[in-house]
């Protein structure tokens, strides 16, 4: 019998000392596992919104530290929440191409209470 995976829900965010965090129920996908990642997002019925540290003002402390001082600490960055209801953070992580990003997710039209952010 094929049991569907439980749908991921908002979780308390406990960022590490450099300001990064990944939802404990988010599976780790290796490079090249794009099909598996896409299938997981589809099964979870999630839409995504990406916030980029690079989009912050040039004088934002985390922007200055990361882009100009080569320091990995982005603790002062509070990624902007997308408009609308139901969004919660899936991860705040570094990328090779875009630098630090925050992945916000929600289920369209199914906004629950108790968003963690």
d(CA 36, CA 80): 28
27-68 confidence digits (pLDDT tens): 998 888 999 999 999 999 999 999 999 999 999 999 999 999
Is residue 75 predicted with pLDDT exceeding 60? yes
DSSP 109: T
Tell me if 46 is assigned to some domain: yes
Q: Is residue 112 part of a domain?
A: no
89 vs 103: CA distance, rounded Å: 6
Range of the domain at 93: 33-106
Backbone angles phi, psi at 8, to 5 degrees: -65, 145
Integer Cα distance of 64 and 57 in angstroms: 9
pTM: 0.85
Number of domains into which the chain is organized = 1
């Amino acid at each position: 019998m094929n049991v569907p995976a439980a749908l991921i829900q908002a979780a308390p965010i406990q960022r590490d000392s450099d300001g990064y965090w990944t939802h404990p129920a988010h599976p780790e996908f290796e490079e090249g596992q794009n099909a598996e990642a896409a299938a997981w997002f589809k099964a979870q019925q999630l839409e995504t919104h990406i916030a980029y540290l690079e989009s912050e003002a040039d004088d934002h402390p985390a922007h200055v530290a990361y882009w100009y001082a080569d320091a990995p600490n982005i603790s002062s960055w509070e990624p902007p929440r997308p408009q609308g209801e139901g969004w919660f953070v899936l991860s705040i992580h570094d990328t090779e191409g875009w630098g630090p990003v925050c992945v916000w997710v929600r289920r369209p039209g199914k906004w629950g209470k108790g968003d963690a952010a």
